[in-house]
Amino acid sequence: MDHQKILILDFGGQYNQLIARRVREQQVYCEVKPYDLPLEEIRRFDPIGIIFTGGPNSVYAAGSPHPDPGVFALGLPILGICYGCQLLAQELGGLVTAAQADSAREYGKTLTFFDPSCKLFRGLPEQSVTWMSHGDYLAKVPEGFSLCARSEACPTVGICDESRGFYGVQFHPEVNHTQYGSQMLRNFLYAVCGAAGGWTMAGYKQEAIENVRARVGGGKVLLALSGGVDSSVAAALLAEAVGSQLTCVFVDHGLMRKNEGDEVEAAFAPWDIHFVRVNAQDRFLGRLAGVTEPEQKRHIIGEEFIRVFEAEAKKIGQVDFLVQGTIYPDVIESGKGDAAVIKSHHNVGGLPEHVDFKEIIEPLRMLFKDEVRALGRELGLPEYLVSRQPFPGPGLGIRIIGEVTEEKLALLREADAIFRQEVARAGFPMDQYFAALTNMRSVGVMGDGRSYDYAVALRGVLTSDFMTADWARIPYELLDRVSSRIVNEVRGVNRVLYDITSKPPATVEFE
């Protein structure tokens, strides 16, 4: 890559991927790397600036994460956010302590005052609301640094050494709750780091196509096509890159939504690609019989996907490459290094140790969901495919709590179809919505008789990147119609619940 890059060193905070999103929104490419990235690799990455993320630790605690100290001598601008700010101060001669008074601990929306002469805050109001989340206190500012932001409770909200391009803020500019956070990040990128911008999906498309051609050469390629946004965009990219060397395999694992297998096949029928549909319902359900633990289900589904692809590859002949539509949030949530495993994605953490392919290609691996959609538009995909709601690779297998059976699948398909029909009819906008089958059965009264049936949970969220999400405020009238139809039309359900939990602390999916 010959474009300018920002390096984000990850210290384990909950908002870290949002920083990457905000940087890319400013048309500057960035990547998130572990905090202990060796100095030589940092040099090889060749960034124009570095951002230290937040994190849950205290910089003065034993075992707290610290970068290679040589990073401060690279001559690169550095922005430290929350833990990153405290780390910057501690490493350069300042002092960070636990807040001695409750008033010095700041959480949530906080009125903050800025020095507009500082490059980080240039052109912004002298006071606005920021989002704080820190219990430690910057008791001593390092030599050469000055104060550039404060709150009523904390005089050291922002510090800077403009001669070296070092900046630290105790608040989180990457979250929407910080009123001018995006502009602050833009100031760091353009006014401090000297970014020129210009990183676009059009450029990424050409770069990705060239990379695929270089890796594949004359080899044959098998693509795992689900019909979702990610795999569809990957298919379009590979079709443009290697054409007739590509075979797209759609595995119908029996965990699809109502009529979805037929719809996927029909959607790709007009494409000039080799499309293969494999009906493997019995195979997947057999492996899932008796399994209730979510991670085990994901791993089983991930392994079976690979085994089906290997079998199809043998039918085609020698296939060297397997392509997956893995995207950045999949990688992040599956955990890497010191990162926490939120849930294993079937195409990342769910892969078996051995795969019978020369290489796995993931051309979307560094893209967020909205970036994947933008790439799809660059590739000329129809809007109904690009805008399609995400559907997880494990399908309804992770929307059924507990064991997956044919009976439960049939029940959930009907409930989910009713929910989707009514939402579409009402035209209520949501980024993702679905029904899930809980493992709870409860007493009800139906037709003057006692019932003891399942509870279905409805889920609807609003999000731009699926790294965070807010629960959708669906009108009561719409929920009432959905609930009435499900209870009356789906045999085996006598209760409907609505999930009003955002992400975090929940995830979008149930398992």
Catalytic residue among 30, 106, 172, 362: 172
Higher pLDDT, 153 or 49: 49
Model confidence at 422: pLDDT above 80: yes
* 248 flagged as catalytic: no
**φ/ψ of residue 137, rounded to 5:** -130, 135
* pLDDT at position 2: 61
If pLDDT is split at 50, 70 and 90, which confidence band does 342 have? very low
Report the Cα–Cα distance between both ends of the chain, in Å, rounded: 36
Residues 222-239: tens digit of each pLDDT: 888 877 889 889 999 998
pTM over cut 0.85: no
* pLDDT at position 333: 58
Model confidence at 265: pLDDT above 80: yes
Which tokens go with 193? 């780091």
What does 198-244 look like in DSSP terms, one character per residue?
---HHHHHHHHHHHHHHHHTT--EEEE--SSHHHHHHHHHHHHHHGG
* Residue that is written with structure tokens 């997880």 in the block: 392
Structural domains of the chain, with CATH:
5-192 (3.40.50.880), 201-386 (3.40.50.620), 399-498 (3.30.300.10)
* 172 flagged as catalytic: yes
If pLDDT is split at 50, 70 and 90, which confidence band does 341 have? very low
* pLDDT at position 134: 63
If pLDDT is split at 50, 70 and 90, which confidence band does 286 have? very high
For range 208-214, the mean pLDDT: 94
- With a pLDDT cut of 90, the percent of the chain lying above it is 60
Distance (Å, rounded) from C-alpha 212 to C-alpha 207?
9
The mean predicted confidence, pLDDT, of the chain is 88
* pLDDT at position 350: 42
For range 483-501, the mean pLDDT: 96
* pLDDT at position 340: 44
Catalytic residue among 82, 85, 193, 248: 82
Identity at 1, one-letter amino acid code: M
Residues 452-475: tens digit of each pLDDT: 999 999 999 998 767 778 999 999
Model confidence at 346: pLDDT above 50: no
In the β-sheet with 321-323, what is the strand arrangement from edge to edge? 274-279, 246-252, 221-224, 321-323, 359-361
Distance (Å, rounded) from C-alpha 50 to C-alpha 164?
13
Model confidence at 367: pLDDT above 60: yes
Which tokens go with 18? 């949002």
For range 372-399, the mean pLDDT: 87
Distance (Å, rounded) from C-alpha 174 to C-alpha 426?
34
In our burial notation (b when 16+ CB lie closer than 10 A, e otherwise), range 240-251 reads bbbeebbbbbbb
Nearest to 9 by CA among 61, 54, 74: 54
* 134 flagged as catalytic: no
In our burial notation (b when 16+ CB lie closer than 10 A, e otherwise), range 266-279 reads ebbeeeebebebee
* pLDDT at position 370: 86
Nearest to 355 by CA among 295, 309, 288, 299: 309
Identity at 8, one-letter amino acid code: I
Which tokens go with 107? 């959480």
Lowest mean pLDDT among 47-56, 80-89, 119-128, 326-335: 326-335
Model confidence at 339: pLDDT above 60: no
Model confidence at 479: pLDDT above 50: yes
What does 153-196 look like in DSSP terms, one character per residue?
S-TTSEEEETTTTEEEESB-TTSTTSTTHHHHHHHIIIIIS---
Catalytic residue among 85, 134, 160, 174: 174
Distance (Å, rounded) from C-alpha 20 to C-alpha 117?
26
If pLDDT is split at 50, 70 and 90, which confidence band does 147 have? very high
